[in-house]
Amino acid sequence: MSDLRDAAMTSKAWPFEEARRVLKRYEKAPPEKGYVLFETGYGPSGLPHIGTFGEVLRTTMIRRAFEVISDIPTRLICFSDDLDGMRKVPGNVPSQEALAEHLQKPLTSVPDPFGTHDSFGDHNNAMLRRFLDTFGFEYEFYSATEFYRSGQFDEVLLRACERYDDVMKVMLKSLREERRQTYSIFLPIHPETGRVLYVPMKHVDAAKGEITFDDEDGREWTLPVTGGTVKLQWKPDFGARWAALGVDFEMYGKDHSTNTPIYDGICRILGQRPPEHFTYELFLDDQGQKISKSSGNGISIDEWLTYASTESLSYFMYLKPKTAKRLYFDVIPKAVDEYHQQLRAYAMQDAAQRLNNPVYHIHGGAVPASDMVVSFSMLLNLASASSAEDKETLWGFIRKYAPDATAETHPGMDQAAGHAVRYFQDFVKPAKVFRAPTDQERAALEDLAKALQDGDYARDLIARKNAIVGKDEPLPEADFTDEEFLQSIVFAVGKVHEFEPLRDWFKAIYEVLLGASQGPRFGGFVALYGVEETVALIDKGLKGELG
């Protein structure tokens, strides 16, 4: 453990860098509360989306890293701001007209349009917890509604009353003159309509812990700030929550970064030290727009898991959190293959290298071995060439390539085969566009087919290629089960037929035979798909029977 801790204290992996910042908070004395508290916040105004998952995952990675470098106990709270008023009806839920009647009511007071829970807020909280539980996160769930109504927030709310002017001063600096006239950190919940009111305060009584205001009809009301009858505006709520819970670490998206001084300032005014922060870049959809809970753009958790493993999604979330990334379906194959590349690399790495490997953080140090004998991208190309309708079609090729592999011994491979078929059917197949070969390409493809059936002809092509590129080396033995020999044939054909640049030859293969502009290392594809099958595929491509 000491060796691991020593390596972790110098690791450049971002979870360890953040964990060391948290540890530095307590270099002089341990926390009085007895633990370090990590928090993630969730606004349940729409269905949970993949960015929320990423926030909890990344915080968990830092929490685990902290547990490697310190013996201080930790907790992780997932806090849902479900007392927030529903400002607009999300575009991706049923019964939108009925929901419109409940605008500005707390989300836990809005009926559930799906009819499965007591409220819309409860439904969205359940959705959040369901997919967090799917990934095995260790967390405690906090509901803002319960937090306010149970009295857990009362002490800080009363302190906000006492220091109302100081908190308001922080907020007013950030507002335009017009907004300042009506702004208050307190949002009363109307005793009759149940709506969250955005109204100025007529009086704040620190001694009684009460606020007085006029509602939208001009009627005066006085309410206690405690017990869930009043909530804080979202920016003050952020800092007040840190103060109430004693939060040590919270991360949030770049869109919050300009508010950090506000959150910190309010937390200090309310008597606590602000937590460490980590600002991550936003996720973008296929159009380069920020993904949003309310609009439902981008990819959902369930959509990703239809086409790939949970671990591949975790890998995507680990990479470069301070860089904006497109989060759309076309990133999935790359994420799957890179994840397995890192798994294979991990087995050969020393302790320091392992701590910098994403899979260490994905698996909390208990890293499994990869059983992917065929890459996901290659599976997609096999599915494309064979027009696979089920994973058994792909297993026919896999077993020829790796005879010892079975669905039972290679469950990850089996899962990936099923995912690849679904991905092919939904994304690859509809986008396939085959074209006829040019005269140069036709002659080259005919030569390739001949070489794949005649070892002597294949070796002769390789010899001619060697002469062209000025290589003087022994010719390889003709072995049509060897990927490297097969790739040598493909390369030789391109050189002999004078493709310049050579990548135009490979592009022609993909466009004529696979209906795509890019594809696999073709020698590896032939080894998997089969020599006879590849020759038949070339024949169909030359006859125009693939389109």
**Residue 164 CB: number of other CB atoms within 10 A?**
20
pLDDT at 286 over 80: no
Measured over the CA atoms of residue 289, residue 295, residue 297 and residue 300, the dihedral's sign is positive
pTM equals: 0.90
Predicted confidence (pLDDT) per residue in 464-509, tens digit: 999 999 988 899 999 999 999 999 999 999 999 999 999 999 999 9
What lies within 8 Å, CB to CB, of 107 at 6+ separation is: 44, 45, 82, 83, 84, 85, 86, 119, 120, 121, 124
pLDDT of residue 272: 97
Predicted confidence (pLDDT) per residue in 330-382, tens digit: 999 999 999 999 999 999 999 999 999 999 999 999 999 999 999 999 999 99
pLDDT at 46 over 70: no
Predicted confidence (pLDDT) per residue in 320-329, tens digit: 999 988 888 9
pLDDT of residue 505: 97
* The token pair that represents 33 in the structure block: 């509360």
Q: Which one has a higher pLDDT value, 230 or 255? A: 230
Reported as type and span, the H/E element at residue 211 is: strand 210-214
Mean pLDDT over 54-78 rounds to 97
Reported as type and span, the H/E element at residue 77 is: strand 74-80
Partners of residue 143 on adjacent β-strands: 80
d(CA 547, CA 437) in angstroms, rounded, equals 12
Measured over the CA atoms of residue 2, residue 76, residue 19 and residue 31, the dihedral's sign is negative
pLDDT at 294 over 60: no
Contact (Cβ atoms closer than 8 angstroms) between residue 16 and residue 65: yes
Percent of the chain with pLDDT over 90: 83
**Helix (H), strand (E), coil (C) string for 109-121:** HCCCCCCCCCCHH
Q: What are phi and psi of 78, to 5 degrees?
A: -105, 110
Name residue, tokens 């064979």.
Answer: 386
* The token pair that represents 164 in the structure block: 């109302």
C-alpha count within 13 angstroms, C-beta hemisphere, residue 111? 12
Q: What is the mean pLDDT of the chain?
A: 93
pLDDT at 293 over 60: no
Cis omega before residue 501 (within 30°)?
Answer: yes
User: Which of the four pLDDT bands, split at 50, 70 and 90, describes residue 47?
Assistant: low
**Residue 54 CB: number of other CB atoms within 10 A?**
23
pLDDT of residue 517: 87
Partners of residue 68 on adjacent β-strands: none
User: Which of the four pLDDT bands, split at 50, 70 and 90, describes residue 292?
Assistant: low
* Range 511-521 burial, b when 16+ CB lie within 10 A, else e: bbbbbbeebbb
Strands 203-205 and 283-284, sheet pairing: unpaired
Predicted confidence (pLDDT) per residue in 413-460, tens digit: 999 999 999 999 999 999 999 999 999 999 999 999 999 999 999 999
User: Which of the four pLDDT bands, split at 50, 70 and 90, describes residue 132?
Assistant: confident
Least confident range from 55-59, 124-128, 319-323: namely: 124-128
Question: What would the DSSP string read from start to end of 1-23?
Answer: -HHHHHHHTT--SHHHHHHHHHH
Mean pLDDT over 84-107 rounds to 90
d(CA 296, CA 291) in angstroms, rounded, equals 7
pLDDT of residue 487: 96
Q: Which one has a higher pLDDT value, 297 or 405? A: 405
Please report the beta strands in 25-69, taking only residues with DSSP state E, as ranges in sequence order.
Answer: 36-42
Contact (Cβ atoms closer than 8 angstroms) between residue 449 and residue 538: yes
User: Where do the H-state alpha helices sit in 173-307?
Assistant: 177-180, 234-245, 260-269, 301-307
The alpha carbon of 36 is separated from its chain's Cα centroid by a whole number of angstroms, namely 25
Instruction: Name the nearest CA neighbour of 55 among 277, 378, 335, 355.
Output: 277
User: Which of the four pLDDT bands, split at 50, 70 and 90, describes residue 107?
Assistant: very high
Mean pLDDT over 385-397 rounds to 94
User: Which of the four pLDDT bands, split at 50, 70 and 90, describes residue 164?
Assistant: very high
User: Which of the four pLDDT bands, split at 50, 70 and 90, describes residue 388?
Assistant: very high
Mean pLDDT over 30-38 rounds to 97
